[in-house]
Each structure stands twice: as structure tokens, then as C-alpha cells.
Chains A and B, each alone.
Chain A
């Protein structure tokens, strides 16, 4: 909402400076967005008097002027044809910035055809005050030399733009702003009683309200014999200053009142009306009409229209129709001042896409008590500017009930704000804002003004009191520390996320944060987006569903970095993956990617493989407290992984917590990612919750076997379809008390090993506990290992 300072001062008596007014607005909650103060632009320009203008000796088109300026007498060479002795002009000193030319004058006088010029006299265009560049500004009036040019040019009216919060429609009228400012103590509201204009004849237009809910009250009056002339300069200037285009007197007057009092009005050409005026529901096709924006609309039943017997004349409170609008030849007008319900107005505007000043006000809530005042105010202006004769005012329906009184315990102010305010100050603030506090006790009964429908309870009044008294006076008080012992506040998942991040960053991965949404075909590569997770209004088609995995953006980022010439990038993200739209449908996952590229190094180049990414995945799992030792590894990763070089890590067939491996080359191709990429993804939610800490944090006693471990090597030939993991587990489980470690130190599948099988060389470590093992005992355990492995894998010792 924009307004010029002069308009505010029409309502507010104040000596405050522009800066003080802006500060007062800010501190009362009217947030300044912009102040356009011409004085900032024209500060250096002043009125000068040309005592003599003579022909330049060496140039036909130039004159040499002797000029009285704020800095004394100056010689100025001027090319304007209208430069003459005895004129008053706008003087720009040396060094001044000329806005219309976008350059600054030299700081030293310049010689023009041999004669020094000490400054410049400006045209309207050079000051950005119009297109006139035929000559310099020739000021009317007897302005003393040195008068600021803003004043002489009538430009000394700053325009303030501020944010109107949705709860305060009354700020959409300048008078509402003045009222709040008066309460802050910066000035006094001027009275401006609204004059009641008696009608000389009954209102000839009948008003019928067929839909009370949408339009409960509608006042109208006819003014006949008007001349719809162009508005006077003051009215045109007022509208121009807030960015509105003057049209004709009738339209301009309604616009003025809309911005002055937040009271939208509408005028109809009586010659174009037939029968009574109705506010009713839209009737579809039959109501089709052309609105003032030149577009055709078909009012639905949910929309409120104003219509007569012949046609629909417009949307109530949103926009009028072209047909009944007032032109230059209009002589009799019907003036509408009604109240339209916010929700219905808003729904109509949303459905039609219409934006208008009226709609903006009605959807927020116009003062329902301003219906008659609005007509009277407009009538006065119409009679003054357009002439004519007013009818009586006809009011249909009843003004909606005023907001209810609020029982307001004075102690509420202190309870909610800590401010200890005297009773008189509370009453003063409420009264200046238009509230009517009454009562002698600790609880006031506060009447709420009709324009403050946002106030319905105690807290609303506390806000008014605190806001006007000043939030700067709130006493900043630190919260008391809780009396109980401070516990760690992070949740298990937050702790897991922290540890996973640090484990991966420590292994060389850079943490990324990527979009939660992705493109649908990308989601389809990773099992598709979950139920209910397609956006209705995506910001772009690139981001139209919720991502099933962060891998999508990480993989694309690997390519984007390569495209920027950044070579190999190792990236990870700890973030959400979306499964469904219910409260349990979001997973916290750790995803990491790196490309398979061979590094060139003098010690020999090396290419990472699936076991590198598996090691990274296991390190992250270890860091977050997953039972890494009990995890099964199976080659059963889903379809976006390389079928032969990927796996899942799980506790049981259904409890998968991670996938790792190479991404399927077809998926990479669809994402336009070159080469091969290694990745893993851990679902943090799938990791079993740690057992609840029970009291002490003391560890169990350390058991250390002092006896020397015994190592035995085996070579098993097993089918390639059997995972080595099965062999390891079998060997380890052969004698849980004795077998402390099993490792594979060679895998061979060449000559001497049957086709389709591999020879796995295994080292088994036995840890004697109480006494040294005898050869027989060792042989016994080894036999158990062989038998267990055979049973689990079908493999036998290599012979």
C-alpha cells in the first residue's frame, strides 16, 4: 500500500519528519517497504534567477547567461532556445548528478566554445519530470533564489510504501494508517466529519438482496444531472502519486475513497439499468458478461453477482461490468456501497483469477459500518466536481453484527508481555485506536470498533497495547535454566545422522543437500514415487514428484561436476527419502556416490571397485551403531543396481538396511551420467534401536585370553552361486567358543578347479581359553569346520 505524505497529513496533524513518521510506522507494525522521496534525487537543485542572457559570440544556438544562484552569481552557457533575461530556472551546480541524463557534471567549469560555464540550467526531461526537452524549466511564481527545486516544482511529497498484513484491512485506507500513528503519539487524528447530504427525491432504483450471506447490506443513491468531466488536478495528482491512472471524475472519486477509507464503491450509468438491482448467486451461461478488464466471465452459482432484470452487471465486490460503466455522456448515476462477505469474494476472485482493489479489500474485511458513510463522502465529491442532484439513500438489508465486546483483565498485559503498564496508559491506547474500554475494576469491558474484525479475544488487545506502547520497551529476560539435570537432547536418529556424516566426510566424501523433489521419469528409474507424492503445482516439471531416493540428485551432481571440469567427485547426503504421504512415509537415508575412475599415479594407477564402496558403507553402518558383525550380505539389490556387482546388507530376509554396488548402466544412461558409478544407500530407520541404557555406563569386565591363538588354513572348492558370506558364517559357527576369526585370503578359479566353481583359501583362527589345545582337539575343530562348511555350501576341501 502506497500513499503520499500529504495524504497522510490530511488525516494526521503532526510536525514529525518523514524519518520519524517512518520509524513510528515500523514500530507500530506497518513495515516500510520503500520510501520514494524526491528530495533525495533533487537535493542539489535550487531555484536560480537569470539576470541577463546574451548571444554567445561564437555559436548561433548558445546563450551566455549571468545567473543569481544559491552559490552567488555564475556564468552559465545554455543551449535552450527559451533562456531569457528575467526567468527563474532550476540550477544544477558543478558536480551534480543529472538523473535524466544519467551523468554527473564536471567538477571544474568547462569551456563551451571558449566561454566558461559554471553549472547548468535543467529541462524537465533532465530531471525526469516529463518528456519536455525543448527548453529549460521556466518556473512560475516568485520563488526566491536558492529555494529547493523540489518545492518550486511541487515535487516535495514523499511517497511511502508499506506492507499491509492480512489482519489489518483498515490500513488499506489512509485514515486507518493515521489512526494507528495517532495512537503512537506522533500526531493527532483530524476529525473530518462526514457530511450528511439530504436527498431531494426518493431513490428511483430498487435494491433487492437475494443472497444475504454474500451481501447482507447494500446502500444506493442516484445522483442525476451530473457531468462526468476530467477530475481536477488535486484528485488526479493524488491518484497518480499512488500509481493509479486517472480516468474520469466518477471513477476517480470511487478510487479515491477506496484508498482513503478502505471503502470500495461502484457507479452505474442509470440509463443502462432496467428494473431493480439485485445481489444474487451467479446463474452460469445466462449471466455471461464482459467485465471492466475486457474479459468475458461466466458467473458460477458460488459467486455473488449484481444484476438487474436484463443482465448481470458485474461480480459483487470483485469487478463491475463494461456495459453499465459510466462514460463521458453519463448524466444519471447509481452509486453502490455494499458489504460483501470475505470468503465468497475471495473464492470468486480465485476462481476467475481477477485481481482488483475492491476484491483485495473485501476479502480482508471492509468496515461494514462504512456503507452509508462511503455514499455520503462520494456524493459530496460528485456534487462538487460533477454537479447534479442527489436522491435519498436507500439501504437494503442490515449491517452485519459488530464484533462482540471483550472482557479484558488488565493483568493479561503483564502475564503475556511482562510489561507493567498503568491502567490509564492501557485505556489511552485502546481508546485512541477506536476501542471503547469501560468498567472500574480489574477487568475492563472493551468494545471493538467495526473496522477491527481481527480482534476477538484478550490476546488481541494485549497485542494492541504492547504494539503501541512499543516492543522496544519489552524487558529482555533470559529464560531460567531448567532445574533438572541436563540430558542430551538429540534423538537416536539425529545422533545416527551426525555419526554417519562424520564417518563419510572423514573418508573423503563431501556432504551435499539436494532437492526433496525430482522429475517423475527419474523417480521411475528408482521404483517410482510413492502414493500421494506427486505435486499438483510443481515449481517446474523437473521437480514434480517427491524423490524415492537422494541418489537421483547425487548421481546427476557427479555428472554436473564432471561437466564443470571438476573430475571425480565423492558426494553423500543424509536426508529424506519419501515412501508415502502418511506420517510414517518418510525415511532418513544415507546415500553416497563416487565414479569409477582410474587415478593416475607414479606408484601405479588404481580403480575403485564394489569392495571400496562396500567398505565405505560398512564404515558408515559401523559409525551409526548397526550390528555390522551380524549382517548378511546377499546379491539381491533392487533393479537399479548392477545385477552382478551389488548387494544388500540385512539382518534377515526382510530386514534390509543397506544396498551397495555399481549403479545399473541403463539407469545411468537415462540420467545422462557417463561411465560407471559406485553407490550405497543406508536406511537409518531400518537399523534396530539401541538397547535402552540401564543405569550405569560401566562396561563388562574385559576378557583376555593369554594363550597363543592357533591358525589353520583350508582350501574349499564351492559353487560360484554360493556367496562366500555363507562359507564364512558356517566356518565361524562351527565352534563358537573356539573359532575367533575366519578370513578369506585367496580366491582362485583357474586350472585345476572345476568349471563353475571357485577355490577359496580360508584362514581359521582358534583361540584356546583355558589350556593349550592338543593336536587331537585342533583336528577335531577343523573337522567340524569342514563338515559345517560342506553342509552350508556343498563345498569340499580341495584335493
Chain B
């Protein structure tokens, strides 16, 4: 066996055996038989020592080359076999990906929350902070300090809920408006003051547009120069921002509130488009808020001098704003937790009203 032609025969035999293997064990048997310690190629290599230098010069490289080529062929075959085995395994792991996923509920935020956040953002941009008060109030903060004289008919217009009187005959009320927050703010802070105060308010009334509990937002500005033109300007700026239109047309009309003088109500021009309301066009006027210059008696009641300090206050229904902007027709639905209503009129928690990505 010193003939390279014989080596060619050996090589083609072994390569054929490698190609015929179907699994790793078979391949390993071929490897051992060819280039294992006692394999045919290894035995030939052992014979090199007995050869003449001239023969060795020919056969040495030939055998080494043969061993390398066979080794490479075995490695390649091994990888091919592994890959085929994985493909076969993956086929067996197939699932029907069209089957439905495990359902998870989709959460939502209430439209009142959404509108309150929109209000906060719009007014924060104008420099208003957000203040809060409690729902159970005393007579002083809800009425007397706001210039509702004891026993005055103006108190009747409020449909007040009273709490049962205590042992001394004092009875608290559920605040009928967010205006007590005005008083608490003016009594505890130094002007200049700019606040809005959103929150729950209560009146003894129940139909399609009235519920015994609803939400208001109060606004208050106190400084040394703010006048009624500012009030009008601020509210127009607000309405344009809130209703997201440049076309707000509002009517400022005299009214009476005990805690403002002069007092006004504001109507916006609107038309109905289906259930929704389009602000800025049409022929109808809709009352949307009450406002005025803070009454000198109120300023005085809070320990400030009305000849030095002046400013305005306004109050509007948050639920009503939500109904107008988002087209929910019945106020009572806001409070009965029907999951279909919450999902339909609610908002994604990912939405955060702001001036960069918009209000809603």
C-alpha cells in the first residue's frame, strides 16, 4: 500500500460511507473505522516509519491530506445531520397560532377625570394652581362668607343638603358649590392668587340633567389690577382651548350671584350635531358658567381690603363640560358604573392631557 492510487480508492470509499450515514452513531462508526486509532487511515500512517525517505516524502503528505479531508467531511456531515434533526423536531412542535390569546380587560379613565385634567392643564398654562376643599362644609364657608345673608332667599336657590345638627344645634352642609375653596384660599394665602378648585358638589335635585352629586370647577384670581375684561378674556381663552376651536363665540350676560358684583353668566353659541354639541356655530345659546368680580364683602370677609385687592371668580360644571365636549347625553350615566358606558366614554390611561400631544 504505497500507491497513492490506492489512497484515492480508500478516500472515495470512506466519503461514500459518510454520505450514506443517517444519524450521529452511524457517522461516528465510519469516523472510528477510518481515522480512529485503529482506523484504516491511521494504520496506513503507522506504516510511514517503515518506508524509505523517498516513499515517505510522497506518502506522508498524501496520508495527512487524506485524514484532514475525511475529518472535514465528517464534521460537515455531522452539522448537516444535526440541522436536519432540528428541522424535524421543529415541525413536530407546530401549534395553531390563530388560536385566541387569553383575554385581559382593557382599563379606562372616567370622562370627569379626563376633563378635570384638561382643565388643570389649560389653567396651569395661565398660571393657576389647583386647590381643594372638603365636601362637608360649615355654613360660614359655604354661605355667610360668600355674602349669602342669613335667611336670604338666595340661599333657596342652592337646594342645599344639610347634615343632622349636632348637640349644639350647629349643622354642617354638603357644599353646594366649590366657592368655599375661594374663602379658604383667600384666608390662608397672600395675593396675588390664581387658583382653580375642582371637586364634588351637592344639590338636592335629580333628573336627566341634574344629579344630587356633580362636579364643579371654581376659578379665582385676586391681585391689584385684574378687572372684568380679564375675566372675559380668560374665559374666552379657556373655551377656545377646551373646545379646541378658534371659533368660540360667547355671550357675556348680566346675572346675580351673592358673591360677585358685577355678576355675569356666559353663554356659548352652539348647534347640535347628533348627540354631540358643536361649539362655535349655529343659532342657539347655551349657558355654560357663572362668574363675576369678587364681591367686596367677600374680599372683606377674608380679611383683605377691597379698595386694594380685586379680582374675579367663576364656576362651571365639569360633568356638563364633559357632556358637551364628548357627547354623553344623560348625566345620570356618569355615576352608575355601567361598564359598557365606562368603556365607551372612558379614556386610555396612556393619554395625558398636555400642550405637547394635545388634550385628548
Contact = CB atoms under 8 A, between A and B. Distances in A.
Contact of B343 (A494, A510, A543, A568): A510
B336 A557 contact: yes
B264 A471 contact: yes
22 contacts: A31-B255, A166-B156, A168-B256, A416-B228, A460-B261, A467-B262, A471-B228, A478-B230, A489-B120, A506-B350, A511-B109, A511-B346, A516-B213, A517-B213, A535-B164, A536-B164, A536-B171, A539-B205, A546-B135, A569-B337, A570-B107, A581-B163
Contact of A165 (B129, B251, B256, B335): B256
B337 A561 contact: yes
B105 to A, nearest CB: 4
Interface string B7-51: 000000000000000000000000000000000000000000000
B15 to A, nearest CB: 47
B102 A599 contact: yes
Contacts of B112: 513
A286 interface: no
Interface of B: 99-100, 102-110, 112-113, 117, 120, 124, 126-130, 132, 134-136, 150-154, 156-157, 161-166, 171-172, 174, 192, 194, 200, 202, 204-206, 212-213, 221, 226-230, 232-234, 236-237, 251-256, 261-265, 293, 295-296, 306, 310, 334-340, 342-343, 346, 348-350
Given A166-B154, A516-B200, A599-B102, A511 B108 contact: yes
Contacts of B109: 501-502, 505, 511
B153 to A, nearest CB: 4
Nearest to A530: B136
B261 A462 contact: yes
A166 B213 contact: no
B117 A498 contact: yes
A17 interface: no
Contacts of B253: 26-27, 29, 31, 471
A415 interface: yes
Contact of A479 (B156, B174, B233): B233
B270 to A, nearest CB: 16
A510 B346 contact: yes
B339 A569 contact: yes
B127 A482 contact: yes
A497 to B, nearest CB: 9
B335 A515 contact: yes
Interface size bracket, A side: 35 or more
Interface string A474-486: 1111110110001
Given A416-B228, A463-B263, A479-B234, A539 B107 contact: no
A505 B108 contact: yes
A458 B296 contact: yes
A508 interface: yes
A514 B337 contact: yes
Contacts of A581: 136, 163, 172
B108 to A, nearest CB: 5
B105 A508 contact: yes
Contacts of B252: 471-472, 474
A56 B166 CA distance: 83
Interface in A393-442: 414-419
Of B150, B166, B232, the most chain A CB neighbours within 10 A belong to B232
Given A510-B342, A535-B164, A539-B206, A486 B107 contact: no
A560 interface: yes
A467 B229 contact: no
A476 B262 contact: no
A234 interface: no
B39 to A, nearest CB: 44
A557 B339 CA distance: 9
Given A27-B253, A471-B253, A511-B109, A463 B132 contact: no
B232 A476 contact: yes
A586 interface: yes
Contacts of B212: 515, 517, 539, 543
Contact of A486 (B120, B127, B236): B127
B135 A459 contact: no
Given A166-B256, A543-B212, A560-B336, A364 B153 contact: yes
B107 A491 contact: no
Contact of A166 (B152, B164, B264, B337): B152
Contacts of A576: 135, 200
B203 to A, nearest CB: 9
CB-CB nearest 6 A-B residue pairs: A29-B254, A418-B229, A165-B256, A505-B107, A557-B337, A463-B262
A457 B346 CA distance: 48
Nearest to B126: A479
Interface string A150-188: 000000000000000111100000000000000000000
A557 B256 CA distance: 40
B296 A603 contact: no
A31 B261 contact: no
B335 A476 contact: no
Contact of B228 (A165, A418, A564): A418
Given A471-B254, A472-B252, A494-B130, A512 B342 contact: yes
Contacts of B348: 505
A466 interface: yes
A146 B340 CA distance: 58
Nearest to B152: A166
Contacts of A477: 227, 229-230, 232-233
Nearest to B294: A459
A343 B234 contact: no
Given A517-B212, A532-B163, A568-B105, 17 more contacts: A165-B256, A343-B150, A346-B151, A466-B254, A467-B254, A475-B229, A481-B126, A506-B350, A510-B105, A510-B107, A511-B113, A513-B335, A532-B164, A535-B161, A553-B337, A576-B200, A585-B134
A346 B149 CA distance: 13
B127 A418 contact: no
A203 interface: no
Contacts of A670: none
Contacts of B162: 535-537
Nearest to A538: B161
Nearest to A515: B213
B107 A417 contact: no
Contact of A512 (B110, B132, B163, B200): B110
A363 interface: yes
B360 to A, nearest CB: 15
Interface in A328-368: 342-343, 346-347, 363-364
Nearest to A501: B109
A167 B256 contact: yes
Nearest to A490: B130
A536 B200 contact: no
Nearest to A481: B127
Contacts of A482: 127, 192, 194
A459 B262 contact: yes
B107 A508 contact: yes
A515 to B, nearest CB: 6
B132 A491 contact: yes
A602 B99 contact: yes
A557 B336 CA distance: 7
A515 B135 CA distance: 12
A418 B108 contact: no
A776 to B, nearest CB: 45
B136 A585 contact: yes
Contacts of B264: 471
A165 B166 CA distance: 33
Contacts of A347: 151
Contacts of A475: 229, 232
A444 interface: no
A507 interface: yes
Contacts of A476: 229, 232-233, 236
A536 B296 contact: no
Contacts of A474: 228-229, 232, 252
Given A463-B254, A511-B113, A478 B153 contact: no
